[in-house]
Amino acid sequence: MDCQNLVFSPKQSKKRIEKAIRVLPSIILRKIIFFSLYLLGARIKTIASLVDIPEVSGKTTIHRVMKDGISAFIDRRQPPKSYVAHIPPQTQQQVFQASVLLEDEYCIILFGDSKHQLKIPLSHKVHLKSVLLSLLLANMLPINEVSSVLDITIAHCRNLAARLKNEDVTEVLIDKRQGQKKDYLVDQNVKADLIQHFVARTITGHSTSSNKLSELINNTEQTNISSRTIRWHINKMGLVKIIKTLPELIQALKKKS
């Protein structure tokens, strides 16, 4: 694989590694990077000094992965252990009445002792945000823990919490991204052309295969739309359903007139 044109951003690297390290133990992460760089053709000696793994250990990892697959990234001499996310140490002296810890797929919020706790699935993002930010507003949780668990910056954390004072959860916490709103290849002209050809050919008994239609449309509209896309739009507009009924309807109308 030729990586000569790849540009590596130290800034992005730092950011992404900091994120990954919350989930993967450092040594496993470094082994993965070692193996990836090896696959991409870097010199083993150079990789070893970059990821801070002895050259021989790196070579062992490569051989083990080649032999045993993914499981070889983990030091199998050690008993399997669950990894708890790293939470930066508290800097403030203030005593908080609650604390959070991450366990499997849950965020557990402890109030005083383990008898009073909230267990919220990490996948319930809005719920989790709402509760943690509310506890932050009540001064029951330190902001660095909240921002760490929610994986947002402290500044943004403050921002969201402040907004929650005046706006409802739906305004502040629910994602309103809507994505693409209109077809960008198949515009009105193409659709008109598609319907016209489809109908004319259905009535006259010509083939309405997506291959034929895309060919016709691309010729008149000067486009390069794939037959698969044409099929997708034919289906989306429900045109398939009129293949049988349309000629019958035409016949019926002709008889009446």
Does 189 bind DNA (CB under 7 A)? Our answer is no
CB of 155 to DNA, least distance (A): 7
d(C-alpha 17, C-alpha 32), whole Å: 12
CB of 236 to DNA, least distance (A): 8
> For residue 103, what are the β-bridge partners?
106
Total residues in contact with DNA, by rule CB under 7 A: 39
Does 113 bind DNA (CB under 7 A)? Our answer is no
Does 8 bind DNA (CB under 7 A)? Our answer is no
User: Coil, strand or helix: which one is 174?
Assistant: coil
CB of 50 to DNA, least distance (A): 20
Q: Among residues 37 and 234, whose Cβ is nearest to DNA?
A: 234
CB of 235 to DNA, least distance (A): 5
User: Cβ of 202: how many Cβ atoms within 10 Å?
Assistant: 19
Does 130 bind DNA (CB under 7 A)? Our answer is no
Does 16 bind DNA (CB under 7 A)? Our answer is yes
Backbone angles phi, psi at 213, to 5 degrees: -65, -40
Q: Among residues 116 and 236, whose Cβ is nearest to DNA?
A: 236
- Which one of the spans 32-40, 69-77, 90-98, 147-155 is the region binding DNA (CB under 7 A)? 147-155
CB of 167 to DNA, least distance (A): 12
CB of 13 to DNA, least distance (A): 10
Does 232 bind DNA (CB under 7 A)? Our answer is yes
Does 207 bind DNA (CB under 7 A)? Our answer is yes
d(C-alpha 219, C-alpha 225), whole Å: 10
Closest CA to 145 of 104, 105, 110: 110
* Tokens coding 106: 């849950």
Backbone angles phi, psi at 91, to 5 degrees: -105, -25
CA 124 to chain centre: 16
User: Coil, strand or helix: which one is 229?
Assistant: helix
Burial class (CB in 10 A: 0-12, 13-18, 19+), 44: middle
Letters for 148-187 (x = contact with DNA by CB under 7 A, - = none) are ---xxx-xx---x--------------xxxxxxxxxxxx-
Q: Angle at CA 65, nearest 5°, toward 61 and 70?
A: 120
Residues 53-72 that bind DNA (CB under 7 A): none
Residues that bind DNA (CB under 7 A): 11-12, 15-16, 151-153, 155-156, 160, 175-186, 207-212, 225-229, 231-235, 240
